[in-house]
Structures are given as structure tokens and as C-alpha cells.
Amino acid sequence: MKSIVLIIVGFLIALFGIITLFMSTAVIFGLFDIREKEGNYVLFVVIANFICAFLYLAAAYGFFTKKLWTTMVLNIAFGILVIPFIGLGIHIYSGGIYEQKTVYAMMFRTLVTIGFLLISLKYISKENIKIIN
């Protein structure tokens, strides 16, 4: 059962990473008119998402291969998301332009990352700790 969960989560996080990479790259580099469709995007949030896309893809590999470092990679992704989330709050508070969907997307992305992190803690880290002890 544990292996099935890890494979499913691996595919989900890989899909999440690919979508994140596509969307953030399209906004940063102005591809496919997505930048215009996004409206008043906040660049540092998009850059953080771009960086996290690579971390999600690495974590997907970690889920497939049950690597202990998967939890660390997701912790880093979580930290990378929290910092711009705080920055977004400051940006909004200081009167910066933004889209409300950016706030919802950051909340969603942060919660999904926490979910992947908790699954990693439960199914990978504990298993490897048992092997080490």
C-alpha cells in the first residue's frame, strides 16, 4: 500500500511541477500570451513558483525512489513559498497592484506543498529512519 501511495503522490507532484514550470515560465518570459491573461501578477511570486517547480520535480523523483532527501526538498520549497507570501502581504499592504487570484493561488500552493511534505514525512522519512536504526 505504501508503494502505491508514493507512486500516486509522485505522479501528482510531477504533474504539479510541470504545470507550475510551464505557467511560471510563460509569465516570466511572456510566452503564449499568458502574461497578459494573468493581469497584475507579482514578479517575485512568479519567480518563487518557478524555483519551486524544479523542487517539485526533484521531489517527484524522490517519491518514486523513496529518497530521504525528499522531505528536505519539500521543506525548502515550503520556505521558498512562505517568504514571498509574506512579501505579497507587504506588497498588498503598501498599496501594490495584484490580483486576488494570486493570494488564493499562493494559499493553495502552500497548502499543497504542506500536504506533499506531510506525506513525505509519513511514508519516506519514517521508513528510512527505521532502516538507519
Ordered per-residue pLDDT tens for the chain, 133 residues: 788 989 999 999 999 999 999 999 998 888 888 777 777 788 899 999 999 999 999 999 999 999 999 999 999 999 999 999 999 999 999 988 888 888 999 999 999 999 999 999 998 876 555 544 4
Residue owning grid cell 514578479 = 43
Beta strands in 1-133 (DSSP E): none
CA distance linking residue 68 with residue 59, whole number of Å: 10
For 36, residues 6+ apart whose C-beta sits below 8 A from its C-beta are none
Amino acid in position 110: T
Radius of gyration of the chain (CA): 16
3-state class of 39 per DSSP?
coil
For 34, residues 6+ apart whose C-beta sits below 8 A from its C-beta are 23, 26, 27
